Amino acid sequence: MSVESAPAPLSRVGNSNDQARRHNLSTILTLLHHGGSQTRAGLTRATGLNRSTIAALVAELAELGLVYETQQTDPGTVGRPSPFVHLTDRMLAVAVNPDLDAVTIGLVGLGGRVHSRVRHETPAAPGVAETIDIVTREVDALRAGLDDDQRIVGVGLAVPGLVRTSDGVVTLAPHLLWNDEPLAEPVAARVGIPALAANDAQLGLLAESLFGAGRGVDDIVYLNGSTSGIGGSVLVAGRTLQGSRGYAGELGHTLVNSNGVTCFCGKTGCLETEVSVGRLLEVLGVDPVDGDEFDRMLGETVDDAVRAEIDRQLDVLGVALGNFVAIFNPSSIILGGFLGSLFAANPARLQEGIRRASFGTLGEQVTVERAQLRTRLLMVGAAELAFGPMLADPAGVLGP
């Protein structure tokens, strides 16, 4: 399976042996990052390289501060024990997700481990300058708390809008009122760390494909719901749909009600105007809350008005997802953000709605589930973007 995470290409400097070594370092680090600790023997089987080459590569990764080894203790092992290779916590990424009412920032380690996550609430949609200020303050605070041998290698920004990944310019984020706003380069200049930006839904799909419900699945429709609306991304035959300009997957702007309200995009009756966390919060009678708390409130409610709104939104979502099943024929639908909470409140209703709205029997053959990473989802996805250059060429990024 191939899910693009914008890694930097290997440098062309050096001879063919050097290029092969750096490629193999990348392969081993990526295997450990996505698959967890493994023995040297397991890495030998996975890569087809010989034992002495694996030993040398692991030693180099250890010198770079990326891995360490422990001795195998399984008494049932036949022959000489093969050491286990583990990732260290020394290399870290900062993950950023600006949204309509907050900027969430996390510190993430290799292997998708979220060390910390802070939600900086804002009185209104944060502007680009405000977002950069928040990121700068948080990075300074995170640096102050690091151990001497720890290092932040990159910043990944998951943005609810159209993002030109080549240079990190946000072409359009209507809920945030951002239009042709440079983001990645100004962040990098302020914090002194490389920064990359991409669409939040694409990064959510990336995270779930590597660490969550999408592992080993090649055909997925992914929808993420937040205060900024609904974003989507589609995986077909193991590759994300990009479109001619890289903006494919704006599924939140699918028409579901021609008599509905006007969307931020200027159209009427978009999916995200009918299936909305704002409407759910209104009927719950609460202000925006953290995702875990919202999940609990929606799942435990016994209020008839809240249950009715949950069912109404599930019915609309079922129609949209049924259309997506007919168009993309996925084997799996994954729902992140508040959509995961909505689905968990009445799974059978949504599954039946998809079945009714799908073409033929396609709706009966698709698996529907919520994102396994829950509130860590966009932190892990944004960190994957930030780790991309190091995963592609660990020696080139971390070496002297």
How confident is the model over 79-88, as pLDDT tens digits? 677 899 999 9
- Angle (CA) 111-135-190 rounded to 5° is 110
Q: Is 224 exposed, middle or buried (0-12, 13-18, 19+ CB in 10 A)?
A: buried
320 vs 300: CA distance, rounded Å: 26
pTM over 0.85: yes
- Cβ density class 365-377: b for 16+ within 10 Å, e for less: ebebbbbbbebbb
Given a contact cutoff of 8 angstroms between Cβ atoms, the answer to whether 117 and 88 are in contact is: no
188-223 per-position pLDDT tens digit: 999 999 999 999 999 999 999 999 999 999 999 999
Answer whether residue 14 shows pLDDT above 90: no
Tokens 């709605």 -> residue = 353
Token pair listed for 94: 């900062």
231-259 per-position pLDDT tens digit: 999 999 999 988 887 778 889 999 999 99
Domains of the chain and CATH, by start: 18-87 (1.10.10.10), 91-203+377-398 (3.30.420.40), 215-371 (3.30.420.40)
91-123 per-position pLDDT tens digit: 999 999 999 989 999 999 999 999 999 999 999
Cα–Cα distances (Å) from 55 to 32, 118, 304, in that order, read 15, 39, 63
Given a contact cutoff of 8 angstroms between Cβ atoms, the answer to whether 314 and 280 are in contact is: no
Mean pLDDT of 327-354: 95
> Would you list the DSSP string of 296-354?
HHHHH---HHHHHHHHHHHHHHHHHHHHHHHHH--SEEEEEEHHHHHHHH-HHHHHHHH
Given a contact cutoff of 8 angstroms between Cβ atoms, the answer to whether 301 and 211 are in contact is: no
